[in-house]
Amino acid sequence: SLFSVQLLPMYLESFCVLAIIQNAETGTVCSYLTFKQQEYGIALAFKKKVQNKIKDLLQQMEEGLKTADPHDFSAYTGWTGIALLYLQLHRVTGESSHLQRALDYVKRTLRNLNGRRVTFLCGDAGPLAVGAVVHHKLKNQAESQECLTRLLQLQRSVVSSDSDIPDELLYGRAGYLYALLYVNKEIGPNTVDDAVIAKVVGAILESGKNLSKEEKKTERCPLLYEWHKKQYVGAAHGLAGIYYMLMQPGAKVSQEVLTELVRPSVDYVRHKKFRSGNYPSSLSNETDRLVHWCHGAPGVVHVLLMAHKVFKEEKYLKDAVDCGEVIWQRGLLRKGYGICHGTAGNGYSFLSLYHATQEKKYLYRACKFAEWCLDYGTHGCRIPDRPYSLFEGMAGAIHYLSDVVQPETSCFPAFEL
């Protein structure tokens, strides 16, 4: 009762940190305010707890997947997402059985492609890119190459100016661009030619300039995008996800384009910030409601951190820090534990803030969100349609937990590079 509602989270934060962060070498616990950089990591006991929970959840997930849709190949709700989880587990543990599992799942997806969509998250590019990577890691060069060839064949519809493909991450060009950048990161630079990437980037820029002109916003927001007639802001369907991909070093967008087109557009989104630090789901929406990766600060934080890296201006970091505050206040979600609109996805924003600032406060917050995921299923949260999937369900929470215990190399799946 000594603490007001606003002070309470801060109080809890400095109190509970004792149990979570300790000196990795001596095992001594220290207070939140006195620990020095680098000396303190995540307490061993907490790590153990997380690792045990990962085993437990993996078992539950495998059991649950027995009744999952055998034809859903997507990274978002289907088998490619499960393959991505096993790739991640292979990365953090080095266990070859995980890579084998990833192969089993990705093989299943490659039989089910339907040519309807082109993105990493929801289309054929996801299984093909993940297939190329898994086969490459297993030294199956011919199979890897076959996946890459098929991945590149998708570009035709992506760059064609008369196609009605959108630009956002889930179903649009930015989601295809991610697939190309992903294979370049995982297999090696130039696996996909710069010329191909330049064409895809060119198509995204063209589309953004066109809509901006149509809407008479060339001054304020030179790159404008919409999906289903709405100008979304967030990472999944909106501006944040598209700008984030355009600013990736691997996208090799020229400094001039970054400065003249991307920067003012990012600033335009910045000006839509609510007083809370959150962002609207679309440009026409005035209500400060959703705090999800797909809509709201947990997605926008990534574009702000990237803008800070690229343009080296403090204002971007400051806004990102404000995102961190609203996510800390409102980011434990009743919608579930997943990546897209769940607690795990929101937890990733703290890991990214931690990368950018090296402030242990963010590591602590990431651990607290992980702690919530450790009590999976006990909070009366809504059960998503695909409860074991990467972006809606349990696989996403496991992915997050496996990243929290190795926070230095954490990476939001199908988004961060």
The residues that touch Zn ion, with contacts defined as CB under 5 A, are 294, 340-341
CB-closest chain residue to Zn ion: 294
Q: Is 294 annotated as a binding residue?
A: yes
* β partners of residue 282: 232
Q: What would the two tokens of residue 86 be?
A: 């096993």
71 in a known ligand binding site: no
Q: How far is the CB of 392 from Zn ion (least distance, A)?
A: 8
Q: Which is nearer to Zn ion, 297 or 340 (CB)?
A: 340
Give min distance, CB of 389 to Zn ion, in A: 12
User: CA angle, 261 as apex, 259 and 267 as ends, to 5°?
Assistant: 80
**Shortest gap between Cβ of 295 and Zn ion (angstroms)?**
7
Nearer to Zn ion, 208 or 296 (CB): 296
Least CB distance from residue 273 to Zn ion, whole Å?
20
Query: Closer CB to Zn ion, residue 53 or residue 341?
Result: 341
Please, which residue, 87 or 121, has the CB nearer to Zn ion? 121
Q: Closest approach of Cβ 341 to Zn ion, in Å?
A: 3
Residue 379 assigned to a binding site: no
Distance in Å, CB of 190 to Zn ion, minimum: 34
Handedness of CA 318, 321, 323, 325 (dihedral sign): negative
In the complex with Zn ion, the residue whose CB is nearer, 133 or 339, is: 339
Would you say 177 or 294 has its CB closer to Zn ion? 294
Q: Which residue ranges are tagged as binding site?
A: 294, 340-341
Q: Which residue ranges are tagged as binding site for Zn(2+)?
A: 294, 340-341
